[in-house]
Amino acid sequence: MQTATINFDRFNALADREADERIRAAKAKLGKKVVILGHHYQRADVFKHADLSGDSLKLSRLASQTDSEFIVFCGVHFMAEVADIMSRPEQISILPDLAAGCSMADMANLSKVERCWRELSEVLDPDQQVTPVTYINSAADLKAFCGAHGGIVCTSSNAPTILQWSFEQREKVLFFPDQHLGRWSGHKMDIPLDDMMVWDPDLEMGGLTAEQIRRAKILLWKGHCSVHQMFTPAHILKFRNQHPDGIVISHPECAFEVCRQSDFVGSTEYILTTVKAAAPNTHWLVGTELNLVNRLADEVKHEGKTVQFMSSTVCMCSTMQRIDPQHLAWTLENLVDGNVVNQIKVPEHEAALAKVSLDRMLAVS
């Protein structure tokens, strides 16, 4: 029987140890009714409670295959949206703290993308000439926009494959919200940098001339990840001077020059797999979020491998950090009492269109 929702204020002052104990107790009571998802970038004191770990798409797909009624996503808002879209109708997606957003995802919103589409129509016919491609790190309504306009979703691992499909549909691509992933993926397809123009949504016509728009193969939305923008070629140069035999691996959300100077470039799953499969006693410089790097370093140190964070500045996903043990304990204890807090529910019509673009991606990749 549903009771009054437990107010979070009662949990905010909990010591981490007590929150940890209450999380374990609530999980034991809920059993298989709940599945906790932990993204690779999640802080360690929350990540350890995850039943499943991985990147956002993998976690959503795995959660949909469980018998759990409640999906508690320890990640950020767009991830919980994807879980809601991909899960069964009877499953409920929950985000422990609604303030856990994504600064990159916020750099492209529906009104700005629709304005871009209208402005492009002054130069060409976007519905005939442009395939909209949104990175999975985006809001559900942008995935729905792509579904409605013959577009598609991509991830950091399948972006080049998705671009290839997109060019088979239409001659140009509008890629949002991360310019760096779009640029690196286009580069891997041998598209010249001069044919990839940055669209600035805060400027009329994206700050481009009609001729630049006509020439562009890819229009790159002016967006970026606040974590990955911290890494620079200077970090790599310093590492190579200190460790000539060292190996550099970076996420494709890093700037182009960082990717170009890296030995390997790939998604979070790719980074983990590559380093774990590497020869013992190798030294790695890793350009991605700090929690993942620290966790990876602990997992491979017994093989004599050294895993080093690329930046000298502490750099983690600050919005994901908002999901702490206190919020997780609050969420689970409310579920024990029969209360659902912070449910993420994508409107039905929006979810249907977003699923079109997601299903296209899954079919292609």
pLDDT of residue 7: 82
Nearest to 172 by CA among 220, 207, 139: 220
Q: Which two tokens stand for residue 182?
A: 């779009």
Q: Quote the CA–CA distance of 8 and 10 in Å, as a whole number.
A: 5
pLDDT of residue 312: 80
pLDDT of residue 9: 83
Per-residue model confidence as pLDDT tens digits over 47-90: 999 999 988 899 999 999 999 999 999 999 999 999 999 999 99
pLDDT of residue 1: 43
Domain membership of residue 1 (yes or no) is no
Q: Is the model's pLDDT at 2 over the cut of 70?
A: no
Contacts 24+ apart (CB under 8 A), 273-282: 274/249, 275/249, 275/300, 275/305, 275/307, 276/300, 278/247, 278/305, 280/304, 280/305, 281/305, 282/246, 282/247, 282/306
- Residue 40 has φ and ψ, to the nearest 5°, of -55, -30
Decide: 173 and 116 in contact? Cβ < 8 Å.
no
Which domain CATH number covers 245? 3.40.50.10800
pLDDT of residue 315: 62
Beta bridge partners of 189: none
Domain membership of residue 342 (yes or no) is yes
Per-residue model confidence as pLDDT tens digits over 256-289: 999 999 999 999 999 999 999 999 999 999 999 9
Q: Is the model's pLDDT at 205 over the cut of 50?
A: yes
> How many other CB atoms are found less than 10 A from the CB of residue 233?
15
Which domain CATH number covers 172? 3.40.50
pLDDT of residue 110: 97
Please compute the mean of the pLDDT values over residues 125-136 and round it to a whole number.
97
Please, what is the average pLDDT of the chain? 95
Per-residue model confidence as pLDDT tens digits over 299-355: 999 999 999 999 887 666 667 778 999 999 999 999 999 999 999 999 999 999 999
Domain membership of residue 47 (yes or no) is yes
Q: Return the H-helix or E-strand segment holding 137.
A: none
Same domain (yes/no): 215, 133: yes
- Which structural domain range is residue 75 located in? 9-100+319-346
Q: Quote the CA–CA distance of 54 and 62 in Å, as a whole number.
A: 10
- Counting the structural domains of the chain, the total is 3
pLDDT of residue 227: 87
Same domain (yes/no): 95, 123: no
